[in-house]
Amino acid sequence: MQFIDLAAQYQHLKTKIDARIQTVLNHGKYIMGPEVQELEKNLAEYVGVKHAITCANGTDALTLAMMVLGIKEGDAVFCPTFTFFATAEVIAYEGATPVFVDSDEATFNICPIDLEKRIQATIAEGKLTPKAIIAVDLFGLPANYPEIQKIADKYNLKLVEDAAQGFGGSIDGKRAGSFGDIATTSFFPAKPLGCYGDGGAVFTNNDEFAELLKSYRVHGKGKDKYDNVRIGMNSRLDTIQAAILLEKLAEFPTELINRNKAAANYEKMLSDKHKTPKPPTGYVSSWAQYTLVDENRNAVMAEYKKQGIPTVIYYAKCMHQQTVFNGFGYKDIDFPIASKLSSKVFSLPMHGYLITEYLNPEVDIFK
Ligand SMILES: Cc1ncc(COP(=O)(O)O)c(C=O)c1O
């Protein structure tokens, strides 16, 4: 079986996706064609924000957010240590300093209590200017935005939601991509909403940010791309990827139901075997990954392999453990929860097309 079965999804949507691609081949507007605007409208509607601005990938989406917020050398941006590298990378790329924060043990997401401690310590030290927080919707579960937003307001910090893995999740009906001042996502093929290459988007309700984003993604354009009013980048979503995403977005609500059915079934079958993920009340996960915690991770993964069930570790290394950030002098003891998680988590197959056995609560596939 596949860890993520993109071929099954393509077979299901083949006729519609093929027709969409053919339409682009016929009109030939490969860059910023009409499908890009159509997708941005549909994305904004789904997420529940005023503006969705697509770009080349989820890392660029975060970089664009950093540019809009004016993050620069001397600034501190707080982010979880237990995340994918891009979250921290984009902060350092702007010359600012990522300040890592420990995780909440139950949700794997940034811990609001530790976040406030790190902000206070940074202020007390007086070397960096606290500017922003990047919270991550790890494995599809929205971070604790009600608490994080309060902290952002208290210390006058901007809040960025890294929803690269979170698209489709929600808190009390408010969808991922709509939290904070600005949010980003990734359309990397394996993401809950993925395209057939690289892609990303930025979401905001702020009209000024939206105008800046549209300029930054096309070489800092003014009235057109040959009128350049600021330093930007070349980061557009290809029209063909937008065409594919239009069909995938239409099917997304059904896939999300299937992912949640599979998660509920995993919970039923596995909660007495491993520590299973439990979204807090009011939270919906898009289950980018179904991630378990087990003291005997290696033995357990070997056992699943014998049964023909693939497993993957996300993530074996936290940000504070990455070679490139050695200079910060962090130790595992500074992040006890995240360090423990990175040594004990592993993920099971999860996608919208798991075989029916995975969706049938009467069948125990792990017997
Ligand atoms: C949390 C997180 N942020 C950012 C990214 C970057 O997205 P992309 O691979 O599209 O650049 C990813 C992708 O894996 C991610 O998981």
User: From the CB of 81, is ligand 1 less than 6 Å away?
Assistant: no
Domain boundary at 222, 247, 272, which? 247
Domain membership of residue 113 (yes or no) is yes
CATH code at position 190? 3.40.640.10
The confidence score (pLDDT) of residue 1 equals 82
Protein residue closest via CA to atom 8 of ligand 1: 58
- Which residues are CB-neighbours of 8 under 8 A, at least 6 positions away? 2, 351, 353
User: From the CB of 63, is ligand 1 less than 6 Å away?
Assistant: no
pLDDT digits (tens, 9 = 90+) for 91-111: 999 999 999 999 999 999 999
Domain membership of residue 241 as a residue range: 6-101+108-247
Residues 142 and 282 in one domain: no
Q: How far is the CA of 198 from the centre of ligand 1 (A)?
A: 10
Domain boundary at 214, 247, 280, which? 247
Candidates 110, 139, 165: which one to mutate for ligand 1, based on the most atoms within 8 Å of Cβ?
165
CA distance 104 to 278: 13
- Specify the ligand 1 atom closest to the Cα of 86: 4
Residues 113 and 257 in one domain: no
Question: What is the token pair recorded at 210?
Answer: 């939206």
User: From the CB of 59, is ligand 1 less than 6 Å away?
Assistant: yes
Domain count, the chain: 2
CATH code at position 338? 3.90.1150.10
Three-class DSSP category at 332: helix
pLDDT digits (tens, 9 = 90+) for 107-166: 999 999 999 999 999 999 999 999 999 999 999 999 999 999 999 999 999 999 999 999
pTM confidence score: 0.97
Q: How far is the CA of 226 from the centre of ligand 1 (A)?
A: 31
- C-alpha 237: how far from chain center: 17
pLDDT at 366 over 80: no
Give, as one character, the DSSP assignment of residue 286: -
